[in-house]
Copies of this chain bind each other. A is one copy, B any other.
Amino acid sequence: MTPYEELEERFRELSHLGHARAILNWDEAAMMPRGGGDVRGESLAVLAAISHQRLTAPKIQALLDQAEDGDQQLGPWKRANVRVMRRSQQRASAVPESLVRASQIASTRCEQAWRLARDNEDWSAVSPLLEEVVRLTIEQAAALGENISLPPYDALLDGYEPEARAAQVTHLFDDLKTFLPDFLERVLERQEDPVPVRGPFRSGEQYALGEKMMRAVGFDFDRGRLDVSHHPFCGGVPDDTRITTRYDKDDFLGSLMAVLHETGHALYEQGLPTDWRHQPVGEALGMAVHESQSLFMEMQVARSFAFMKFAAPIIREAFSADGNDPAWSTENLHRHTIRVRRDYIRVGADEVTYPLHVILRFELEQALISGDLTVGDIPGAWDELMTRYLGLSTRDNLKDGCMQDVHWFAGLFGYFPTYSLGALTAAQLFDAASRANPDLAEQVEAGEFHSLIEWLRQEIHCRGRLQSVEDLLVDVTGEPLDTRFFKAHLERRYLVD
């Protein structure tokens, strides 16, 4: 066996350990009874520790050295595979196993406590656990940053979005901070209130509608599922992709759009290159590209008027609704899906205000990691920035303020910016897809998604991690990430159409 072949074998095993963790994580969110939480946390910690031990074994380092030496005899995929392997090994080796294990236990505990505490709006029940998570995250970020020569926050960000740096993100976000407040004002002045669509909408009917839409856009139910969890997500593995949603009996459109969002993630996973299954180069490129796929499906496709022309008759059938009722007209349903408002909750936010929610979190988490902000300061700082960016105070409303998102409580710092990087990327990709396929809008209107999904498969999904994010974007769209596609999309949808 060559050093490269031995690396493939070892990373295949790591991928299978990752499979176990992915399914256990999905199960924890979608299936597990509350009493199973403690031991689940311990089991996940053991799996994380074993993966960490295997990834940081001296033998891997030696094999990588050898494989890199013989690098020129490998084809581009194998070379890229070695590059990604090295990246993982380097990141893992920077952090001692005991710290990995402690972090996993602390964040599982904190996340579980958050679920209860959020419902009771009991900040004091969860803040000491969050302090521990932040403390361990800072420790990890420092160790990591030192090893890969990055400032602590960049070291975390780089874990979710390879090669992204806070300075570059700040530059893009500053542009949005200039553009969005004025733009938001103009949209709010202009938009008409839709006619309310009255429920209740039963979960079973909502599930059936979601499933039908997932099938329409190409989700493979032989290799995936749709379930319910507290916070919608896409989990599992490429050949067994698990997405979740939650059902609100008064608002089926929110859940449906969430389902289509997660379906975008799932199509990416299901479309990853089968030839490179269980190898690092066959995985998703990074969280921003992942999010670009969900937002491509949700924001660029599903919230377009063309899509609603396809979906509205199916929606009306699902709920036995009358098309002559103004509430159920195609125009009115579409108006619901592109309604813009200042609101407290990120996950339900429209695409105009969403980046402001993200910028707030991006700024606060940088301050948390640098130590400029303590956990105790979060409620006040959150209130201040929400007031500044969106004109909404979250004082005495922590449930809809700093307790709304699972991320920090689950130990995810440096993740938030990828949502808006994803939105920018989605707009830039949709522009390229539209140029490549002039009939796109007609196809969407007719419920024909095959060419569109095929384009995504070819241009994004089946490339795995062969290229860097920037090389991929330049290759597919002709240039690096730029905010003008996103801004043009917003102007077209909210001020022109």
Contact = CB atoms under 8 A, between A and B. Distances in A.
Interface string A98-116: 0000000000000000000
Contacts of A492: none
A249 to B, nearest CB: 17
A33 B214 CA distance: 15
A180 interface: no
A41 to B, nearest CB: 10
Nearest to A32: B240
Nearest to A223: B35
A39 B19 contact: yes
Nearest to A54: B50
Given A222-B34, A240-B40, A23 B16 contact: no
A53 to B, nearest CB: 10
Contacts of A33: 221-225, 240
A35 B239 contact: yes
Given A23-B24, A50-B50, A16 B31 contact: no
A39 B239 contact: yes
Nearest to A240: B36
A237 interface: yes
A17 to B, nearest CB: 6
A437 B32 CA distance: 36
Nearest to A225: B33
Contacts of A34: 222
A261 interface: no
A405 interface: no
Interface in A1-50: 13, 16-17, 19-20, 23-24, 27, 31-36, 38-40, 42-43, 45-47, 50
A24 to B, nearest CB: 6
Nearest to A22: B43
Bin chain A's interface residue count.
35 or more
Interface centre among A13, A17, A19, A24 (most CB of B within 10 A): A19
A230 to B, nearest CB: 16
A262 to B, nearest CB: 16
B46 A16 contact: yes
A167 B231 CA distance: 56
A220 interface: yes
A24 B22 CA distance: 10
A39 B27 CA distance: 17
B46 A223 contact: no
A278 interface: yes
Given A36-B240, A38-B239, A240-B40, A225 B20 contact: no
Contacts of A24: 20, 23-24
A34 B222 CA distance: 6
A295 to B, nearest CB: 25
Contacts of A236: 36
B20 A240 contact: no
A311 B482 CA distance: 68
Interface centre among A33, A222, A237 (most CB of B within 10 A): A33
Contacts of A237: 36, 39
A43 B278 CA distance: 11
Interface string A467-490: 000000000000000000000000
Nearest to A41: B16
Interface string A223-258: 111000000000011011000000000000000000
11 contacts: A16-B42, A16-B45, A16-B46, A24-B24, A31-B31, A33-B224, A35-B223, A35-B240, A36-B237, A40-B240, A42-B278
Interface of A: 13, 16-17, 19-20, 23-24, 27, 31-36, 38-40, 42-43, 45-47, 50, 220-225, 236-237, 239-240, 277-278
- Nearest 7 Cβ contacts at the A-B interface: A36-B240, A35-B223, A19-B43, A16-B46, A16-B43, A35-B222, A20-B20
Given A20-B47, A35-B222, 13 more contacts: A13-B46, A16-B45, A19-B40, A19-B43, A20-B43, A33-B221, A33-B223, A33-B224, A35-B240, A36-B236, A39-B237, A39-B240, A50-B50
